Amino acid sequence: MATEPSEQVGTRMMFENERVRVWDLSLAPGESLEKHIHRNDYFFIVQQGGLIRFSNPDDPSEFRDVQFEDDQITFREVGRLGKIDNRLTNIGSKHHRNFVIELIRG
C-alpha cells in the first residue's frame, strides 16, 4: 500500500492567514520530513543550504539528491491537483533551513 502524503509541508507552521501560510523547514543532519503534498503555489527561501535527499518511502531505490544554496529562492506552481514531494532527508553534514511560503488561493 502506498504511503499517503501529509499536509505538513514544513517542520513548523510559523504564520497563517487567509492569503499566506509560512512554514519553517529545519532539518539537522540525518533528520527527515515525511512525504507531503503542496496544494497551493509556493516559494521557498533557503536560509542555510544543505544536501537533501528526496526519496520514495515506498521504494528506497527511487531518490534524487539536491544541494540547496544559502539565499536561494525558488517558486513552484502547483496546479489544481497539487504537487507531492517524497520524504526529504538531510544527508549532508550541516543543518538545512528554509522557509516555505504558501500562496493560498482566493
DSSP letter string, 28-40: -TT-EE--EEE-S
Contact 85, 76 (CB under 8 A): no
Q: Is 93 left (phi over 0), alpha (psi -120 to 50) or beta?
A: alpha
pLDDT reading at 101 higher than 90 = yes
pTM above 0.85, yes or no: yes
Average pLDDT over residues 11-21: 97
pLDDT reading at 56 higher than 80 = yes
Alpha-carbon distance 76 to 44, whole Å? 9
**50: pLDDT confidence band, cut at 50, 70 and 90?**
very high
Predicted confidence at residue 60, as pLDDT, reads: 84
SS3 72: coil
Q: Which domains does the chain have, with CATH numbers?
A: 12-103 (2.60.120.10)
